[in-house]
Structure 1
Amino acid sequence: MLSKEQKAFNRLSKRIGKLETEIGDFRTAADKLRQRVQQEYRPLQQQHNDLRAEFARLLDRAHDTYKLTKPERKKLVDLLLNGFFDLPNRGYTDLEAIFDKYDPPLTGEEAAAAEAANAAADAQEAELMKGFFRAQFGIEFDPEADLSTPEKLQEYVHQQLAEQQEVYEQQEAVAEERRAKRKKTPKQQAAADKKKAEEQNITQSVRTLYMDLVKHLHPDREPDEAEKLRKTELLKRVTTAYKANELLTLLRLQLELNRIDQQHLENLAEAQLRHYNTLLRQQVRELEQQQALEQQELSAFTGKPYYYIISPIAMELDFQHMKAGLTAKVQRLATDVERCGQDPAALKEFLKAYKIPKAGAGPLLMRF
């Protein structure tokens, strides 16, 4: 019957193997997804934006040449300004003149009024933020400090928080020094000695495995060149695992090289297993952190929550869905451009179906 530590060793070993497989599969799928986005999705996006730019130019020409009613012209201008406003920043700089035509720059007086309104809003927001930081972090604001912009306010707050952190760390260092000088009780000293001995035993356990493999694999003792090359590569794996404290990798290599067998692992002493399990738990935590990091990096790339595309199958389905949706938009927009560019009646029909969004409804980029 397996002991508690042996069961824990087996459970942790399986968990590490499962995590390594999941991380490897996820990384492979994520790399493939990034490649497909560049090769398949980005060209579609470019095609979509080219069509949007063509439609914007079409609307401008239609405004000047088609016989449109006043409500139709109003819809056309609203669609142009709100549905395609991002295109100049995407490289279609020729459209800037069109947007200026329907939404001319502010006059000097209007610009001054807008600037004054923005300054008043910034000042009001700054007071609210100062109140928040004063209440939450005890920050007192110097009346002479320049807080005229949100960036300067943020910089001031960061500086104050950094100073608070520095004071806290100094106080903690002093307290820690006092605690270190304070004589430990026999119980505390015994616990500290036990922890130190355990850490030394764990280090020694890994080092023993490492040295056994190094002696076995040392390439300088191998006369055959092919075998020497094989041992050199294996020794690199051993050294990498040792530096990373990957106990299970070292044990696997021992099994692979017949340095130990499965029965040896099953008959390890409880004390030895306890040291091994401490390292395995640490490796599980590190792998779980690595897995979360991989998912977060892909989430930053796709813009989707990390849990939304957590598996290779989910990645593939999500990509297919996104690609199909964008392909449909490109096809629909190409049809609209062709019809509305050739037939004023088609544009009138298009504008009839278009509804001017209510205030606060957001941009129309999802549709166009």
Structure 2
Amino acid sequence: MPLTTQYTVRIATPAAGPQSRVRKQFNTLVKKLEAERVRLALWREELPKIRTLADDEYKPLASTFDAHRRRLLVQLDEACSDRTMSKTDREKLADMICTIARDLMQMDEEDELIKEIYNKHSGCDFDSEMDAEKALIRQMVGEATGVELGEDVDFSSPRAFLEAMQKKMEALEREAGQQQEQAAQAKPAKPVKLSAREARQQAEELKLKQSVRDIFRKLASALHPDRETDPAEHGRKTALMQRANAAYAANDLLGLLELQLEVEQIDQTGLDNLDDERIKQFNRMLGGQIDEIKFDILALGSAFSLDMGWDVGQHSTPKAMMRVLRADIAAMRANVNYIEADLDTFSDRKQLKAWLKGYRIVAKDPGYGEPWF
């Protein structure tokens, strides 16, 4: 989708009398749609760069940090068995061990060594805790959405869980559709009586589809490349026809109108002379296109945010997302340096005991250190 076009679609103010509200609204919606198209193109251009930076710098640092934490966990577990450690020292070490272990098992629930260390120092069984929590989540989701999740649902990350939910809902929709088809074939359906409002909405939808279809048919009639014998003109019309097909498939009214202007199928006078009823139909379509592009932008950013553990919708622009990612890379690099220093310090029992004197066990809020769900 182009960032800009030289064929700007606007409806001019009539020479006689003030411009109607629907005409002003048309121009406003076109400007908004153009702005959203630029935003979407920017996200599509910049997001691969952001992902590359995350893959090349953040994720290797995060993997190194987790590997160091695993080493630290084993080191602290061994320190607990040291007879020189007091009861208070062991309580503090157990608190540290459980906190680190819970964080690590968010990344990998199947690490048996971490699980064993956690169970030993927490007095609980990690698998039993997770089974109970997952059962509660399945129950809550079922009560809220009516979707019954099986025990095999993926809880490894928010993104994995949402994808599992989506697949389950799509399967239920397909099943419901099949049942409706079978019922319709078995028994003739009774005519559904629509309310006046539903009838108006249905009629309006048909008008909108017909408007787009009419524009596309005019373009297709003028641009069909098979009617051209000149190779250069055949190539030009083939490219234009591909754009028309893409715009029609996407229900892209603005794209079709821009093509009409480009191939001089309509001119500014033709746009200016559109009646208010037709413009009102166009306004509804433009509003729908704006909503669709906003959703596409949110979906693009949300997928990456879920992978990074960020709040969905937190970043309004790729530039803001890149800024946060660079800050996270710097913070993770510092974390790696800190934990490497801790590994060195805690390897000496005397230094560890001295450090533990300043450590305080803080009462945790419910859910502290729990997996994301």
Give me the TM-score of the superposition, normalised by structure 2: 0.66
Pair 1:346 & 2:345 matched: no
Q: Return the alpha-carbon distance in structure 1 between the equivalents of residues 112 and 299 of structure 2.
A: 42
Q: Return the alpha-carbon distance in structure 2 between the equivalents of residues 243 and 207 of structure 1.
A: 10
Q: CA deviation at 1:235?
A: 1.2
CA deviation profile, 1:12-49 (whole Å, cap 9, x unmatched): 21121122222222343444333332222111111001
After superposition, the Cα gap between the structure-2 partners of 1:100 and 1:41, relative to the gap in structure 1 and judged at 3 Å, is closer
Does structure 1 conserve the Cα–Cα contact (< 8 Å) formed by 2:219 and 2:260? yes
- Correspondences of 1:1-368 after superposition (within 5 Å): 1-64=18-81, 67-85=84-102, 87=104, 90=108, 93=111, 95-96=113-114, 99=117, 102-103=120-121, 180=193, 196=203, 201-341=207-347, 343-358=348-363, 360=365
Does structure 1 conserve the Cα–Cα contact (< 8 Å) formed by 2:77 and 2:117? no
Report the AA paired with residue 68 of structure 1: M
Q: Return the alpha-carbon distance in structure 1 between the equivalents of residues 366 and 276 of structure 2.
A: 66
Residue 156 of structure 2 is matched in structure 1 by: none
Range that drifts further, 58-67 or 302-311: 58-67
Report the AA paired with residue 18 of structure 1: A
Does structure 2 conserve the Cα–Cα contact (< 8 Å) formed by 1:75 and 1:351? yes
Range that drifts further, 318-327 or 10-19: 318-327
Report the AA paired with residue 99 of structure 1: I
Q: CA deviation at 1:51?
A: 0.8
Q: CA deviation at 1:59?
A: 2.4
Q: CA deviation at 1:241?
A: 1.5
CA deviation profile, 1:192-225 (whole Å, cap 9, x unmatched): 68974x6555444323321222233222233344
How many aligned positions are there? 314
Q: Secondary structure at the match of 2:357?
A: helix
After superposition, the Cα gap between the structure-2 partners of 1:76 and 1:262, relative to the gap in structure 1 and judged at 3 Å, is same
Q: Return the alpha-carbon distance in structure 2 between the equivalents of residues 61 and 199 of structure 1.
A: 70
Residue 140 of structure 1 is matched in structure 2 by: none
CA deviation profile, 1:106-138 (whole Å, cap 9, x unmatched): 8xxxx9xxx9xxxxx99xx9xxx9xxx8xx9xx
Which structure dedicates a bigger proportion of its chain to helix?
1
Q: CA deviation at 1:345?
A: 3.0
Q: CA deviation at 1:85?
A: 4.5
Q: Secondary structure at the match of 1:23?
A: helix
Range that drifts further, 285-294 or 205-214: 285-294
Q: Return the alpha-carbon distance in structure 2 between the equivalents of residues 46 and 83 of structure 1.
A: 15
Q: Return the alpha-carbon distance in structure 2 between the equivalents of residues 93 and 268 of structure 1.
A: 68
Does structure 2 conserve the Cα–Cα contact (< 8 Å) formed by 1:66 and 1:344? no
Q: Return the alpha-carbon distance in structure 2 between the equivalents of residues 335 and 361 of structure 1.
A: 31
Q: Return the alpha-carbon distance in structure 2 between the equivalents of residues 104 and 363 of structure 1.
A: 14
Report the AA paired with residue 221 of structure 1: R
Give me the TM-score of the superposition, normalised by structure 1: 0.67
Report the AA paired with residue 51 of structure 1: H
Q: CA RMSD in A?
A: 4.8
After superposition, the Cα gap between the structure-2 partners of 1:102 and 1:230, relative to the gap in structure 1 and judged at 3 Å, is same
Question: Percent identity between the aligned chains?
Answer: 29
Does structure 1 conserve the Cα–Cα contact (< 8 Å) formed by 2:94 and 2:121? no
Does structure 2 conserve the Cα–Cα contact (< 8 Å) formed by 1:29 and 1:315? no
- Whichever of the two has the greater Rg, that structure is 1
After superposition, the Cα gap between the structure-2 partners of 1:199 and 1:333, relative to the gap in structure 1 and judged at 3 Å, is closer
Does structure 1 conserve the Cα–Cα contact (< 8 Å) formed by 2:66 and 2:104? yes
After superposition, the Cα gap between the structure-2 partners of 1:322 and 1:285, relative to the gap in structure 1 and judged at 3 Å, is same
After superposition, the Cα gap between the structure-2 partners of 1:202 and 1:218, relative to the gap in structure 1 and judged at 3 Å, is same
- Structure 2: unaligned runs, 5 residues or longer: 1-17, 145-149, 152-172
Q: Secondary structure at the match of 2:363?
A: coil
